[in-house]
Amino acid sequence: DQQVKQNSPSLSVQEGRISILNCDYTNSMFDYFLWYKKYPAEGPTFLISISSIKDKNEDGRFTVFLNKSAKHLSLHIVPSQPGDSAVYFCAASAGGGADGLTFGKGTHLIIQP
């Protein structure tokens, strides 16, 4: 049973355009959501997060939107740059428990020149 779903294994976007990565979740107890970026052969790095009390969080070119009623969140990157090419993981936690984060399978974002 996958509680965090990233249904697009890959996404190709032209440089300068907006990249939109989507994530759906099923566990209504999730109250904190994070996005991680991962290059090949490296550990994931934290990108941006959002608490369930908010519906939007912005950090530079990155914005995360949360729609609690739809159990859906998205990451917007604008404008997209070549260095954004990576695998992006959506993650969620419930109540800050010690058992860590639940991750999606990831979306491979490819920025085309």
Contacts with another protein by CB under 8 A lie at 6, 9, 32, 34, 36, 41-46, 49, 51, 89, 91, 93, 96-106
Q: CB of 100: closest distance to another protein in angstroms?
A: 5
Q: CB of 26: closest distance to another protein in angstroms?
A: 15
Nearest-angstrom CA–CA distance, 53 and 87: 27
Q: Which is nearer to another protein, 60 or 97 (CB)?
A: 97
Q: Which is nearer to another protein, 21 or 104 (CB)?
A: 104
Q: Tokens for 88? A: 């992006």
Q: Tokens for 75? A: 């990451």
Q: CB of 52: closest distance to another protein in angstroms?
A: 11
Nearest-angstrom CA–CA distance, 37 and 71: 21
Nearest-angstrom CA–CA distance, 66 and 84: 21
Q: Which is nearer to another protein, 1 or 42 (CB)?
A: 42
Question: Residue 113 in contact with residue 16, Cβ under 8 Å?
Answer: no
Which residue reads 């729609």 in tokens?
A: 67
Q: CB of 104: closest distance to another protein in angstroms?
A: 6
